[in-house]
Structures are given as C-alpha cells and as structure tokens.
Structure 1
Amino acid sequence: PLVGIDLTVLSVFGGALGVGIGFGLQKVASNYISGFIILGDRSIRPGDRLTVNNFTGYVTKITSRFVVLKNANGSEALIPNETFVTSTVINESYTSKALWQSLNIQVAYHTDLAKALSVLEEAAAAQERVDTSPAPTAVILGFGENGVDLRIGFWVKDPENGFSVLFSAILLDIWQRFNEQGIEFPYPQREVRILNEAQTPSDIAILKASLKAQTDTRSDAAFDNGD
C-alpha cells in the first residue's frame, strides 16, 4: 500500500491459485496415500492376476502412485492406486494363484458316456500344469442338436504361463484317446423328409365342378349387396 499497489487483487488471485493447486494435487495425494495403504495391507502383490476396469493382467510393478498390469499379449496398463481403494478389484491370486478352467466337448449319442467322461479326466490330469488335488472333473452339460455336450474342468497351477498351449495339448490328447477308444465326434445331423407327389383332383371332382359351372349364374341380390 505504501507504493500504491492494491493487495486485494493479489490476495484474490493467490487464493484462486491456491484452490486450483489444491484440487490438482488432491488426486496425487490420494494416489500416494492409497499406495501406502496397498503396501501396508498387502492386498496386491507382484505376480497377482487382477481384473480392473475390464483389463486383466499380472502385477509387474507397484509404485507409490500407480500399479502396472501386464496382460498376455504384452499390453501394460498403469492403474492409479486410488482405483484399488475406491473400486472393486478382482484378485484371482489373493489366496491361491491356481485358476479354474474348462473345455467343452461334444460326442455322438451312441457314445458310452461313462467312458467318455473318464477319458476327459485322464487327458486333463496327464498335463503337468494341471493340479490333481482336486482332480479334474468331467460332467454332462446337456443334449445338443448333433450330440451330447460334455465339459472337463480343471485347476491350472501356473496361470501366468498362459492357457492356449495347455488347452491345445489337452484337446490333442482327448482326440487321440477318443480314436483309440472308438468314441466319435458327431457330425451335423439333419432329418430329410421326402413328400409324395402332388395329387391331382379326381375325374369325378372335375366333372362335378364342370356341371356346377354350367348352372344358372344369376346372383342373389343379398350377395350382390354384401348382406
């Protein structure tokens, strides 16, 4: 004020700037605090398989501000720590890293279903990556259009190594065992019905129609008037 400067404008500007900075740092502070919470309760650990906002991946890095998730195709997502505190996070490795997976198989209707179920369980249990305690379980799902639908379910001990190659090995083993046991995969089935040739009216019916057409064709007034 001694040099003629109005401090009111500066104070208003400084207050607005402080509020803006406060709002801007609010998320940053929240992420840092959430990071300390995550590290403290150990709800998320490196190597865990998480699903956050429809993104599934493995935890590769935990920082004070974000968590890095890496999925099977190599994509990485940086998830703010606040998300793990304020949102629902699916941790498939929280108590055990083993994951339940299943494959659907269809067999022909004349198949010995007890033998087919046994083959499915043996093929899955033969893989080293499949846990045998509890053992793989095969069940009947239902009756489809072309065959009986079966499902083999099993626990994978190391899901971080992927599933595609494991599924391929199990299916290949099932195909080999089915061929050895004489179990058939069904082909699409369709029922074809051959109808008789179209029948023409009899001669008597044609004669009656001709005689009817030659009768008096004068109309009734009730019919012409639409009554």
Structure 2
Amino acid sequence: MLKWSIPVVALLGAALFLAPASSAVERAVPVPVPALDVKPSKGEQVAVLAGGCFWGMEAVFQSVKGVHSVTTGYAGGTAKTATYAQVSTERTGHAEAVRVVYDPRKVSYGTLLRIYFSVAHDPTQLNRQYPDTGPSYRSAIFPQDDEQRGVAAAYIAQLTKAKAFPKPIVTKLETGAFYPAEAYHQDFFWRNPTHPYIVRYDKPKVAAFRNAYPMLVN
C-alpha cells in the first residue's frame, strides 16, 4: 500500500486508485506446474513470500485450500526487529511479506509458488508493485530449508526457460527472520472491503485466483 497518511489518501484516492493497473493484477498469468516440488510430509509447514503490499498477498493465500493461517509481516533486513514505521523508511532492508502455514498433504509448496507467481504479484517488477515503490515491495522468496530453496530456484529457472513472462523474473531467494506486522495490518482485506486500495489492486487478485484455480479455493 502507499505509505501516505489517511488524509492524503482521501484527497488523492480518486486519481490514484482509478488509474489503469497492469493486467497481471486482473487475471492469472498461465504458468506451468512446478517440475520439482517439496516431498509431502506430516505436520504443518511454513512458506514466507514477499511480493508488494502484504494486504493482497495475505488475502490470496488465505483463500487457498490447505492453508491454515497467513500472517502479514516483514522479512529479511538487518535489524533485530521490524515495525511498519521502521520498514517504511526503506533503510532496514526488510520486505513486506506473508508467513503461510499450510498442510503439505493438501497443498504443496510448489503449488503455493505457482499461485505466488501467477496471481499474487508480478515477479517482473523490480523493487516495486504497481503504485508502491521501494525495496520493501520487492519480489522475494524466503526458503525455510534447503529443500524449499532448491524447489524455488528450480521453478524460477523453469519459468524463465518457458518464457512465462514477457520480462525477466527479478524474484530473489533471500534469508532473514520474519516479524509479524501490527495488528491493524492483519486480515486487512477482509476487514476493509471498501478501502480504495483493496478495491483497485487486491480484489482483482483474489478474483483471478478463484477463476484460475477453482479446485484450490477453500
């Protein structure tokens, strides 16, 4: 989301949120099934993904069958903690991200990556997503173990070889702790359905997911 005060958003909302958005927000990009995936296991698993404003990312993955919970927050960076005020300075190195807790017997890590690349964000935008600019809005995957890292790297290579996108994929594999965001950022999509940013940029993502992956909708 744009890091402005509420009064500024109110004044500029009409001009900003009615401006054309990239078609990647409004419909799924057809991407192949990952050739390599994490082996199914018992118990919950975690995926941490960054791709622009975490409001929309959270809503998309909350809609996925087999996902138990999604938390918005901040990943990467050098600080030992992270808050919205700190990350907004673009000096901490953190990215807005989501922590997805899922049942690998119902949805695989590779499937989550497929959704991530096809509807949750545009992996070709460097240090930005649509109206939001800065490194905190970068496209990044934070593998939780070596197997996830291998699957993510292989899938990026697969998508690149398949020329799934008209521009190069800029998604990076990173490391770093995850810090939950403030309470008012959690479930923001569902609690603020008429918010201009949600209506313009995030509702189309959720709709794209539901249309492209009906069998995965919870």
Q: TM-score of the superposition, structure 1-length normalised?
A: 0.28
Q: TM-score of the superposition, structure 2-length normalised?
A: 0.29
Higher relative contact order (Cα pairs below 8 Å, separated by 6+ residues):
2
Tell which structure's C-alpha radius of gyration is larger. 1
